[in-house]
Amino acid sequence: MGNMMEILDTSLRDGAQGEGITFSVRDKLAVAEALDELGVSFIEAGNPGSNPKDMEFFRLAPGLRLGNAKLCAFGSTCKKGSAPAEDPRIASLLEAGTEALVIFGKSWDLHVTGVLRVSLEENIAMIAGTVAFLKERGRLVIFDAEHFFDGFAAGREYALSTVKAALEAGADRIVLCDTNGGAFPDAVAEGVRAVKALAGGDAAGGGRTPIIGIHAHNDSGLAIANSLAAVREGCGHVQGTLAGFGERCGNTCLASLIPSLELKLGIRCLPEGRLPRISALTRRVAEIANVSISDDMPYIGAHAFSHKAGMHADGILKARQSFEHIDPAAVGNDRRFLMSEVGGRSAIAERVKRIEPAVTKDHPVTAALAGKIKSLEAEGWAFEGADASFELMVRRELGRYRPLFRIEAYRVVSEHPTGESIACSHAWVKVLVEGQNEIAAAEGEGPVNALDGALRRALTRFYPDLQLVRLDDYKVRVIDGKEATAAKVRVLIESTDGRRRWSTVGVSADIIEASRAALVDSIEYKLIGDIERRFKPYL
C-alpha cells in the first residue's frame, strides 16, 4: 500500500457503549488528547443528536487544538419519511462543527424491513440522500455500512446496492461493518473484494476511488483477524478502540492491531516515532475509562515479554529473537524475567544487574539467590508476581540493604458487634526510625486495612512521600488446603504512588503476619527507590 493506513478510534462512541464505561465531558476531552498524541487519523467522538453530553463535548472540542486527528461526529441516515434537510438529527451533526462525519446506514435487508421497517428502496434513498446532503455542505463523509457482512451473506446484491448508493452520492470512505462480530476472515476478504470491484478496484483510495475501511467486533474473538484480512485485501482505513473495549465483547483492539500492521506488515499507521508511546497511552485511556489492561494483552500487556523458564531466559540473553517476536521497546514495553524455581541463573543474573552490573550467572550471589528462591518457593513463597520483594532480597544478598525502619511491636483487634453496628478493626504499631520511636493507631474496614493505616501514619512524619502510596490490589492464596485452618497463606500486594506500580509478597500461617511482611516490603521498596533517585548510589 502506497498510502499511510488511516486509523479511526471510536473509544468515545462505540467504546462508551461497553458495559460499565461512562465518560464525563472532561473524560472525553482527556481521551481525545491522548488519541491525538498517539497520532490516529480520526477520533469518532460521539453522537451529538443522542445526548446533551456529546453536544457539550463538541462545543468545547475546538479548545483541544488537535495536531494529528480529525474529530468525527457520528449519526444515522435521515429518518424514514423525512428529507435530510428537515431531520433534527442531521442538523445536530452539522452543528457539531466537525470537518468529518460518520454516517451509518443499513446494509442487511433483515434490518431494513424488520428493524427500520422501511422498504428496501426507501433505505437506499435515505443513504444516498443523507450522504449527498452532507457532501454538499463540505463535509468529509465516512459511510459505515452497518451489518454489511451479515447482509452480504444473506443477499449480496442488496448489501452491495447500499454501498453503491453511498459511493454514487459522494462518500469519501466506505466502511464495511461486522456489527454482530460473527464473520470469519474468509468471509470478510470476500466482501472486501466485492466492494473493491464495485468501487473500481482500489480499496486504498488511489485516484478518485473512496477508501474502503473495516469495522469489526470481537464476538467470535476474530476482530483483529478480520481487520487483518480486510487490510490484506487492500483496505486503507481501520476502525477500533485503542484498548479494545466496546459493546458486548468489544471492538478491534488497536493497541494490538497497530503494532502488527507497522512491525509485521510494514504498513505505517502512526506518525514517525509514535509507536513506542502506544503502551503508555493505551494505559492512560484505560485509566480514564476505569478499566484494567489485561496482563496478557499482546504487545503492551505486563506478560507480553515475560520469561519464566530458564531455557527461555538463557535464549533471550543470547539472541533476543529466539523467544521474542519483536523488540519490547518498539511498543514502549519492557522485558521481564520472572523469578521462580524454574527460572535459571541467567534470568536471576539479568535481574541482579539492574542493581549490580558486574554480576554474572556464575557469580556467587547468583548461586546463592537461586538456592534461596528454590528453598522459599518450597515453603510457599512466589516471586514471579512480586518483583519488589525479590529486589529487596537481592539487595540483602549483595549487602546493599539497610532497613529504613523497624516494627518494634504491633497489635490488631477486630470487633464484630451484634445488631446493626458495623464490624471494624483497630491497629496499633510502634516503629523505630533512626533511633526515634513513633507510635500510631488507625481504624480500618478490616485488620489489614487498619494495620496499613497505622503503619503509614507512624512513618509519614519521617517519610512524607508515603502519603502518595495506596494499595491497588490485595490477594490471598491458601498454600496447602489440606492443613485446613492451620494452612499457610501467601499474600500478594500491589501498590502504587501514582507514577509506578510494584508488587510484594508475604507468607505465614497467620494472615496478618503475611500481610505485615508484604506491607513492610512495599513501603521499603518505595522509600529505597525515592532515595536512589535523589542520592545515588544507595549504600
Phi and psi of 147, rounded to 5°?
55, 30
Q: Measured between alpha carbons, how far is 519 from 514 in angstroms, rounded to an integer?
A: 9
Q: What is the pLDDT of residue 317?
A: 60
For residue 174, which of 183, 161, 185 has the smallest C-alpha distance?
A: 161
Q: Measured between alpha carbons, how far is 187 from 220 in angstroms, rounded to an integer?
A: 13
**CA triplet 30, 34, 37: central angle to 5 degrees?**
140
The structural domains of the chain, ordered by start, are: 6-289 (3.20.20.70), 306-378 (no CATH), 406-534 (3.30.160.270)
Cell numbers 503475611: residue: 514
Q: How many helices (H) and strands (E) does the chain have?
A: 16, 16
Q: What is the pLDDT of residue 339?
A: 54
Q: Measured between alpha carbons, how far is 173 from 193 in angstroms, rounded to an integer?
A: 16
Going residue by residue through the chain, which has 539 residues, state the pLDDT in tens, using 9 for 90 and above. Answer: 446 899 999 999 999 999 989 999 999 999 999 999 999 999 999 999 888 999 999 999 999 989 999 999 999 999 998 999 999 999 999 999 999 999 999 999 999 999 999 999 999 999 999 999 999 999 999 999 999 999 999 999 999 999 999 999 999 999 999 999 999 999 999 999 999 999 886 555 444 468 999 999 999 999 999 999 999 999 999 999 999 999 999 999 999 999 999 999 999 999 999 999 999 899 889 988 988 888 899 999 888 877 765 665 566 666 667 778 898 899 998 776 665 545 567 677 777 887 888 888 788 888 888 888 778 877 878 776 688 888 898 898 888 888 899 999 999 998 766 656 666 889 999 999 989 999 999 998 888 889 999 999 999 989 998 988 888 888 888 876 555 556 788 898 988 888 888 889 999 989 899 999 999 999 999 998 888 777 554 44
Instruction: Report CA dihedral (391, 393, 398, 400) to the nearest 10 degrees.
Output: 70
All 3 cell numbers of residue 111? 434490518
Within 10 angstroms of residue 506's Cβ, the number of other Cβ atoms is: 25
In one-letter notation, the amino acid at residue 335 is R
Peptide bond into 185 cis (omega under 30): no
All 3 cell numbers of residue 77? 441516515
Q: What is the pLDDT of residue 476?
A: 87
Q: What is the pLDDT of residue 387?
A: 83
Q: Measured between alpha carbons, how far is 352 from 313 in angstroms, rounded to an integer?
A: 14
β pairing state of 6-9 and 42-44: parallel
Q: What is the pLDDT of residue 537?
A: 46
Q: What is the pLDDT of residue 207?
A: 43
All 3 cell numbers of residue 254? 488497536
Strand partners, 407: 431
All 3 cell numbers of residue 221? 474473538
Q: Measured between alpha carbons, how far is 267 from 270 in angstroms, rounded to an integer?
A: 9
